[in-house]
């Protein structure tokens, strides 16, 4: 499994009790398959993985994999506080047919590098599922440094890292530090949609995208422009989406994507409590932006 290109991260529609809405999730997955994404990142942070039970994660996986039907590989979030629970989730994902697992260093007690190394290496070695490291310090309060990523990149089965978005002036240096630490073929990718275009231009192999989980065509167009070397067009397409990026920064991409899904009639699910859906004023702004960008016609 070599993660490259555009990986789309959809929400996981569920009811107030956390029961996954399979038909709604299938609609989202079908939208992504038809939109031309390179992979689907199911049960990421946008997919609310920490809020779902093991059983509901399995139900989400089964629905998504059945809908994708091999057209697009699916990577499943397997993060958990305990190593044994993350291992069970990885085993579930492998048994269901996921192509890879996305493993964050979820913590309550702050973790050391050695603890995270043992945690991730155990899951990789005992599950047999290819893993992407999930560096998401804003939620886990743990940061994967280049030295730790380098150590983990040499563990069989650990194939990629999903790094948080970097400021444009910092991304080239961040990439260089990671490249110096990892072996050839280890995939370096970024999240943070409003910074991802510059990361791709700088040479990142993958964009782990929230916007692609709802509006795949908009993100696919940027990736294709970078691939053909049309940097000016990639930047133009990115700049056009700035009103949406502004909403992400103000309200969080998770809340905005739930509002978009509702406005588009794809699902009436709301974020898992205690997260509250956007109020009427904010929803109105989201509606205005997706209408002005013609994303409601996608």
pLDDT per residue as tens digits for the range 145-165: 999 999 999 999 999 999 999
What's the pLDDT at 297?
Answer: 79
pLDDT per residue as tens digits for the range 240-296: 999 999 999 999 999 999 999 999 999 999 999 999 999 999 999 999 999 999 998
- Residues 28 and 198: their CA atoms lie apart, in Å, by 27
What's the pLDDT at 139?
Answer: 94
- Residues 185 and 165: their CA atoms lie apart, in Å, by 21
pLDDT at 298 over 80: no
User: Rounded to a whole number, what is the distance in angstroms from the first to the last CA of the chain?
Assistant: 30
pLDDT per residue as tens digits for the range 88-138: 999 999 999 999 999 999 999 999 999 999 999 999 999 999 999 999 999
Average pLDDT, the chain: 97
- Residues 26 and 32: their CA atoms lie apart, in Å, by 10
pLDDT at 205 over 70: yes
- Residues 108 and 147: their CA atoms lie apart, in Å, by 23
Of residues 135, 227, 143, the one with CA closest to residue 190: 135
Residues 160, 187: contact at Cβ < 8 Å?
A: yes
- Residues 51 and 12: their CA atoms lie apart, in Å, by 10
pLDDT at 171 over 90: yes
- Residues 240 and 121: their CA atoms lie apart, in Å, by 41
How many CB atoms neighbour CB 281 within 10 A? 7
The full DSSP string for the chain is: ----EEEE-----B-TT--B-HHHHHHHHHHHHHHT-SEEEETSTTTTGGGS-HHHHHHHHHHHHHHHTTSS-EEEE---SSHHHHHHHHHHHHHHT-SEEEEE---SSPPPHHHHHHHHHHHHHHH---EEEE--HHHHS----HHHHHHHHTSTTEEEEEEPP--HHHHHHHHHHHHHHS-TT-EEEE--HHHHHHHHHHT-SEEEESGGGT-HHHHHHHHHHHHTT-HHHHHHHHHHTHHHHHHHHHH-HHHHHHHHHHHTTS----PPTTSPPP-HHHHHHHHHHHHHTTGGG-
48 preceded by a cis bond (ω within 30 of 0): no
What's the pLDDT at 86?
Answer: 98
Q: 206: burial class by Cβ within 10 Å (0-12, 13-18, 19+)? A: buried
Cα angle 248, 206, 24; round to 5 = 55
Using pLDDT thresholds of 50, 70 and 90, give the confidence band for residue 47: very high
Tell me whether residue 134 is one of the annotated catalytic residues.
yes
pLDDT at 1 over 90: no
Residues 31, 69: contact at Cβ < 8 Å?
A: no
Using pLDDT thresholds of 50, 70 and 90, give the confidence band for residue 79: very high
Residues 39, 3: contact at Cβ < 8 Å?
A: yes
Instruction: Using only the alpha carbons of the chain, give its radius of gyration.
Output: 18
Residue among 49, 108, 134, 190 flagged as catalytic: 134
How many CB atoms neighbour CB 185 within 10 A? 10
Residue among 49, 162, 208, 258 flagged as catalytic: 162
């Amino acid at each position: 499994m070599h993660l490259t290109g555009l990986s789309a991260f959809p929400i996981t529609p569920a009811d107030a009790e956390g029961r996954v809405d399979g038909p709604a999730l299938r609609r989202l997955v079908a939208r992504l398959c038809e939109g031309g994404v390179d992979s689907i990142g199911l049960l990421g942070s946008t997919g609310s993985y920490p809020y779902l039970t093991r059983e509901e994660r399995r139900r989400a996986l089964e629905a998504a994999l059945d809908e994708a039907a091999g057209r697009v590989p699916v990577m499943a979030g397997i993060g958990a506080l305990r190593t044994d629970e993350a291992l069970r989730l990885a085993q579930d994902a492998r048994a269901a047919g996921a192509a890879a697992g996305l493993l964050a260093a979820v913590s309550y007690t702050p973790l050391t590098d050695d603890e995270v190394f043992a945690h991730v290496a155990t899951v990789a070695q005992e599950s047999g599922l290819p893993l992407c490291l999930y560096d998401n310090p804003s939620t886990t309060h743990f940061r994967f440094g280049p030295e730790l990523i380098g150590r983990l990149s040499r563990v069989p089965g650990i194939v990629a890292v999903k790094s948080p978005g970097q400021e444009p002036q910092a991304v080239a240096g961040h990439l260089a530090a990671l490249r110096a630490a990892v072996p050839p073929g280890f995939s370096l990718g970024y999240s943070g949609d409003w910074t991802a275009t510059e990361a791709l231009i700088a040479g990142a192999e993958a964009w782990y995208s929230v916007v692609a989980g709802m509006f795949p065509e908009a993100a696919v167009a940027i990736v294709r422009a970078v691939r053909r070397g049309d940097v000016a067009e990639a930047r133009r397409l990115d700049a056009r989406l700035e009103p949406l990026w502004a909403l992400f920064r103000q309200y969080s991409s998770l809340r905005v994507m739930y509002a978009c899904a509702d406005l588009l009639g794809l699902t009436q699910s709301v974020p898992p409590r205690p997260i509250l859906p956007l109020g009427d004023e904010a929803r109105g702004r989201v509606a205005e932006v997706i209408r002005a960008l013609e994303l409601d016609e996608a």
